[in-house]
Amino acid sequence: MAFTTVFFLFAVMPASVAGYYLIKLLGNRNEKWSDWLSNLFLVLVSLCFYGWARLEGIALLSIYVLGVWMAGKGICYLEKKAKYKRKVCFMTLSILAVTGILIWYKYYNFIAENLSHFFGISLAMSQWIVPLGISFITFTAISYLVDVFRGDAEAGSLLDVFLYLSFFPKVISGPIVQWKDFQRQTVHRRVDETEFLDGLNRIMIGFAKKVILADSFGAVISKIDPYIGVGMDVPTAWLFAFFYMMQIYYDFSGYSDIAIGLAQLFGFHFKENFQFPYRSKSITEFWRRWHISLGTWFRSYIYIPLGGNRKGMKRTLWNLFCVFLLTGIWHGAAWNYILWGVINGVCVLAERCIREKRFYQKIPAIGKWVVTMAIVFFSWQVFYFSDFIRLGVFVKSLFGLSAANAASAVEYTYQHYLTIKLIFLSVVAVLGATTFCMPWAEKVKTFFARTKTGLFIKETGLILLMIVSVIFMINSSYSPFLYFQY
């Protein structure tokens, strides 16, 4: 089930919020009983949410959660028995098991195809349907096992682990929340009026990002895509690349806003997942601002265990490269994702080597920003095209070098796609991605937060924006969430 559907917005979300607060109200005299019932209610809602697309998904997820919970209990048992080596072995086997499930569902066919192509090894192709959110769920499970192993958090009850792994705001699209951050929020949650309103506001902003901006750009991309390599003028090619750059940001950041806002309605506080990444002046900074929860996960469970930056420059560069290679692999079972990860990794390694050099430090901030955005701009095209032949044709189209750019081959020029509406939305998108964190924007936010007039203006504006979002959502024929496949 997607957030940006009429059924979720007008049925699932209000029913889940109303049911949750009814349970809290009825159990007000017994806090422990209230926590247990409200968590159970959220688990049931989450399982229904997850199983909406495929009913058998409920059974698969339940078995998976049970296995992770038992593995956590096993780690705790070996800890009490002071059998450290066995605990390490058991934890390693548990992580290999959950990782093996991810590889089987998501990467088996990719591996089989490449073994056949490069080595002539023939393997039967899998017909299994990849479970929704398998990558997010796997990383969440690993966080649980490692945090329990390290002693960063206690093992949870079966209900707590069910809630952690299945919680519907984050189960299929993130953000990736670490167990040590989630566990303390499984009890004694309180939501006051201000927090509840902030959660609703975050949801409304997320809806606007997703259905007004991302889906509008996505609809144009879907119209242009069939003409790649067939007939496309140069401005249309650049529009396609620009729209995708904007779409993927507003699509994912919008969904993250909805997830964070939804969680806040139930008393859970998730960390930010995006911090204006298109203002970055280096690829290193970009990855501190883009999909922050994924970067935090890799830092905590891959980079630091590999040694981080504690074992010299060569080892640091190797550790960083491994992280970005795995980042590319995590995004999908295709070579373009791996190449995309390698491109970002090489750029981060190069920046690490030259960041202390005088010539680099003398480069103006605007120059660093332009170079960074150019790298991001072109790397997103690698991310989009799984077919390298189409990618090559498209890159040629950007510079007028493809036969598809011939005037006789072009069926629709950029004027056909660049409507007044798209121009307006593009301006809003660029300003929203680059200027809303500047000092003037912070002053405006302060005004809205501290004065009754400002609060009235803000809430009225957001309600109107939400109404427009609903109109876009109902009228749109394009609404897929890009990160569902990851």
Give the relative orientation of helices 388-398 and 365-384 as an angle to the nearest 10 degrees.
Answer: 140
| Statement to judge: residues 66 and 85 lie in one domain | yes
| Statement to judge: residues 134 and 226 lie in one domain | no
- Indicate whether 329 belongs to any domain: no
pLDDT at 152 over 80: yes
- Indicate whether 223 belongs to any domain: yes
Among 172, 189, 206, the domain boundary falls at 189
pLDDT digits 0-9 by tens, 160-184:
999 999 999 999 888 999 999 999 9
pLDDT digits 0-9 by tens, 354-395:
998 999 999 999 999 999 999 999 999 999 999 999 999 999
- Indicate whether 338 belongs to any domain: no
pLDDT digits 0-9 by tens, 322-357:
999 999 999 999 999 999 999 999 999 999 999 989
Mean pLDDT within 106-120: 90
pLDDT digits 0-9 by tens, 394-408:
999 999 887 767 666
pLDDT at 484 over 70: no
Among 189, 222, 257, the domain boundary falls at 189
Among 156, 189, 222, the domain boundary falls at 189
Mean pLDDT within 245-264: 96
- Indicate whether 362 belongs to any domain: yes
pTM value? 0.93
**Of 306, 368, 310, 381, whose CA–CA distance to 339 is shortest?**
381
pLDDT at 159 over 80: yes
| Statement to judge: residues 206 and 140 lie in one domain | no
Q: How confident is the model at residue 387, as a pLDDT?
A: 92
Q: Could you tell me the pLDDT band of residue 479, with boundaries at 50, 70 and 90?
A: low
433 close to 246: Cβ distance less than 8 angstroms: yes
Rounded distance between C-alpha atoms, residue 213 and residue 193, angstroms: 29
| Statement to judge: residues 241 and 119 lie in one domain | no
- Indicate whether 333 belongs to any domain: no
- As annotated, the active-site residues are 331
| Statement to judge: residues 98 and 235 lie in one domain | no
| Statement to judge: residues 53 and 178 lie in one domain | yes
Mean pLDDT within 454-465: 90
| Statement to judge: residues 11 and 42 lie in one domain | yes
- Indicate whether 327 belongs to any domain: no
Q: How confident is the model at residue 408, as a pLDDT?
A: 63
- Indicate whether 111 belongs to any domain: yes
| Statement to judge: residues 242 and 278 lie in one domain | yes
Q: How many domains does the chain have?
A: 2
- Indicate whether 302 belongs to any domain: no
| Statement to judge: residues 173 and 218 lie in one domain | no
Structural domain including 135 reads 6-189
